[in-house]
Amino acid sequence: MIKIAPSILAADFANLERDIRKVHSADYLHVDVMDGLFVPNISIGIPVVQSIRKVTDMILDVHLMIDRPVRYVERFCQAGADIVTVHVEADSEENTRRALDIIREQGKKAGVVLKPKTPAEAVLPFLEVCGMVLVMTVEPGFGGQKFMEDMMPKLRQIRAWITERGLDCELEVDGGVDPVTCKTVIENGANVLVAGSSVYKAENIPARIQELRG
Ligand code: DX5
Ligand code: ZN
């Protein structure tokens, strides 16, 4: 089954509860955390995740675009995240492994994220302990960018490793997913699709969420 994870980066932050309710028919709620260091933008942090947790029972998929996430993963788990993903580019292999361990010890799903220029092989040291791998199909930092079709070989490669090894690991894509590109990413092995602008700009949001399932 294809899962849709609307990104609240495209929501109205002054009306966040209202905008979260609009996407209730989706599977996960994608929360983009940016620190102005790892990416050239600043979004939201731990107190906002805590507040979101109080107003929704949706599964919170927290995408940490922050430098050295090992410093903060425990606090994001305690704030109410259900899935926490960290970028492999954000720290050493040892610290990334430690971050994944902390997330798992908190009883949450842990995952790694790859920026567009990072090769598929970068997931290999972590694949066995990941419940999620996220392949960026735009440069992280901003919503509303153009989908990078050239990420499809990377997606296929990671799907092949997950299948070959019989792993219980979801494969997510993030960036530029719309009613056309959703078909491409599904064909190439993604099973969780993040979508910001294409969901929140739609006239009929529940219909758009359904359409993105392919
Ligand atoms: C980008 C974020 C995305 C963003 C996607 O750094 O990780 O989650 O919200 O936005 P769209 O779907 O508009 O490309
Ligand atoms: Zn994201």
State residue 62's pLDDT score: 99
**How confident is the model at residue 129, as a pLDDT?**
97
Active site residue 12: no
Ligand nearest to the CA of 115: 1
What atom of ligand 1 comes closest to residue 7's alpha carbon?
A: 9
pLDDT confidence of residue 141: 98
Helices (H) and strands (E) in the chain, counts: 8, 8
Distances (CA, A) of 134 to 13, 31, 78, 148, 212: 24, 13, 22, 14, 17
Distance 101 CA to ligand 2 centre (A): 21
> Does the annotation count 150 as an active-site position?
no
The reported pLDDT for the residue numbered 133 is: 99
Residue of 19, 35, 91, 174 marked active site: 174
Q: Which ranges of the chain have pLDDT less than 70?
A: none
pLDDT of residue 115: 99
Of 19, 32, 35, 91, the catalytic one is 32
Q: What is the pLDDT of residue 120?
A: 98
Please state whether 31 falls in left (phi above 0), alpha (psi between -120 and 50) or beta.
beta
Q: Is the pTM of this model over 0.95?
A: yes
Q: Residues enclosing ligand 1, CB less than 6 A?
A: 7, 9-10, 30, 32, 63, 138, 140-145, 174-177, 194-198
